Amino acid sequence: MSVITNEIKKRRTFAIISHPDAGKTTLTEKFLLYGGAINQAGSVKGKATARHAVSDWMEIEKERGISVTSSVLQFNYDGYCINILDTPGHQDFSEDTYRTLMAADSAVMVIDASKGVEAQTRKLFKVCVMRHIPIFTFINKMDREAKDTFELLDDIEKELGIATCPVNWPIGSGKEFKGVYDRNNEVVELFSDTKKGTTTGEVRVVDANDPELDWILGTEAKVTLEEEIELLDGAAAEFDQEMVDKGELSPVFFGSALTNFGVETFLRHFLAMTSSPLPRKSDHGMIDPMEENDFSAFVFKIQANMNKAHRDRIAFMRICSGEFNAGMSAYHVQGGKEVRLSQPQQMMASERKMIEKAYGGDIIGIFDPGIFSIGDTITTSKDKIAYEGIPTFAPEHFARVRQVDTMKRKQFVKGINQIAQEGAIQIFQEYNTGMEEIIVGVVGVLQFDVLKYRLKNEYNVDILLENLPYEYIRWIEDTKTDLDKITGTSDMKKIKDLKGRPLLLFAHEWSIRMTMERNEGLQLSEFGRS
């Protein structure tokens, strides 16, 4: 096996998704602890210090104490080289969050045991399903009062439409949390928080048939466990690696990230059940990183303004095949020319560092002189392959935008187009109304503030935003439908994107269905083709 193939084989690239506060940051931090990338809990989480040190390129982040952008963390563990794609949560939820999932080979879904499936998880999950990537579930905060375990699993199956297969099973929760039963090895891992901030503490493991377990757990808890396991063995789906690979079955684990209980077990199983970087679709068929030696990568995120003085941008790309060397040249397929890939960066724990080499599966940030767009391919392959584009995700908030000073039309148009090209916002136009006004669509409302801020600071343009009542956007899939002839509901608005493609906006979800019923053959999609 070549050095390159060997390196790629070691890679595991996954995204962590969850609703805010489920414990994503805490779990990530514990992973890094195992990888030795940090040696003390708190290094990632320290909102006031570490986070700002990483991403102080945007004033707005500092002002609000949040991270607008998602980051990538790399660490080594047990012979694997792991890339975690963090997806920003809270109100800073943006299209970037969705796009990050396009660069991952699998996803870890963190669920708060007292809450079950929540809104943001549901949205991100849809993208995972679209991509058919494996999804692993970590049910967190078992040290707090949790929902009934069967109910939690039911919730996942019904809400998300995916079968579940518990790898371990919790014994009680909250103050009564005793540990987890490992179904494969038929042992009980007893809960303790001795490992809380480190990896050195030990977890006691007792054979499920050990009579001692009766008094360790207490008779009631032991009987409940036996009953539940019997029920589970009869009702739950069997573990099936093929179904896991296709994203149809999610292995489920229980634990408590804060006390570092169940994290290592999860990590070990997860690494064994996921695969190295997978083949990806291109205009030349599937490109398999194990066979393709040439370097190839696609851009999934563009981060502007890393250095205000230069107004530069960083294009984040996922390497799909081959080896990357700092300063190398490669062909930018969409731009139609060779480019030098300079200032490559990677995130290591909470620091950004320059790198010399990277391999298929890795994520790197490259200096972008303003030439890259989301979805672009860069490659050294003679075939000039182009990877399949990244879909456009449905914005949920819309506003009509106009510049305060009409004399600044040129700067305004330039600025808003550039920001749209980076993928932070989507811009649309009125359809056949003769109005020149621009309609902006965003996934998270914070992007409106970011837009306002950036137009003012980078392009010296003040804008006014008039919120529109629409929440749903649909792309028209079929080419036969004549937009002029669509009869919609009173809360529907016709618009077009910059390429002139028609779209529909709706204020209510039920109007989408009604419009489809009224217009036979009309096919609407939640994802747009780029």
Binding site for ligand G4P (CB under 6 A): 18, 20-26, 45, 89, 140-141, 143-144, 256-258
Sort strands 80-86 and 72-77 into parallel, antiparallel or unpaired: antiparallel
Q: How far is the CB of 129 from ligand G4P (least distance, A)?
A: 21
Min CB(95)–ligand G4P separation in Å:
19
Whichever of 443 and 451 has its CB closer to ligand G4P, that residue is: 443
In the bound complex, what is the minimum distance in angstroms from residue 42's beta carbon to ligand G4P?
9
User: 25 and 97 in contact (C-beta within 8 Å)?
Assistant: no
Q: How far is the CB of 17 from ligand G4P (least distance, A)?
A: 10
What's the gap between Cα 307 and its chain centre? 25
377: left (phi over 0), alpha (psi -120 to 50) or beta: beta
Closest CA to 352 of 52, 117, 140: 52
* C-beta closer to ligand G4P: residue 69 or 296: 69
Burial class of 20 by CB neighbour count within 10 A (0 to 12, 13 to 18, 19+): middle
Residue 19: other Cβ atoms inside 10 A: 22
In the complex, the smallest distance separating the C-beta of residue 68 from ligand G4P, rounded to whole angstroms, is: 15
Q: Which residue, 48 or 407, has its beta carbon nearer to ligand G4P?
A: 48
CB of 52 to ligand G4P, least distance (A): 15
Using the minimum distance from each CB to ligand G4P, give the nearer residue, 64 or 144.
Answer: 144
Distances (CA, A) of 427 to 280, 350, 370, 388, 500: 29, 33, 18, 22, 11
Between 32 and 390, whose beta carbon lies closer to ligand G4P? 32
Distance CA 137, CA 268 (A): 14
Tell me the closest approach of the beta carbon of residue 392 to ligand G4P, in angstroms: 26
Least Å from the CB of residue 29 to ligand G4P: 8
CA distance 160 to 122: 7
User: Residue 89 CB, nearest distance to ligand G4P (Å)?
Assistant: 5
Minimum distance of ligand G4P from residue 252's CB (angstroms) = 15
DSSP assignment of 107-152? EEEEEETTT-S-HHHHHHHHHHHHHT--EEEEEE-TTS----HHHH
Q: Smaller CB distance to ligand G4P: residue 256 or 447?
A: 256
Q: Cα(83)–Cα(80) distance, rounded to whole angstroms?
A: 10
Dmax (CA) for the chain in angstroms is 83
Q: What is the CA radius of gyration of the chain?
A: 24
Which CB sits closer to ligand G4P, 31 or 431?
Answer: 31
The SS3 of residue 381 is coil
- Residue 18 phi/psi, 5-degree rounding, is -175, 170
- Is the Cβ of residue 144 or residue 311 nearer to ligand G4P in the bound state? 144
For the residues of 437-469, what is the DSSP string, one character each? -EEEEESSTHHHHHHHHHHHHHH---EEEEEES
Nearer to ligand G4P, 262 or 391 (CB): 262
Report CA-CA distances (Å) from 410 to 11, 403, 440, 457, 460: 46, 10, 17, 16, 11
DSSP one-letter code for 261: B
Residue 95 or 143 having the CB closest to ligand G4P: 143
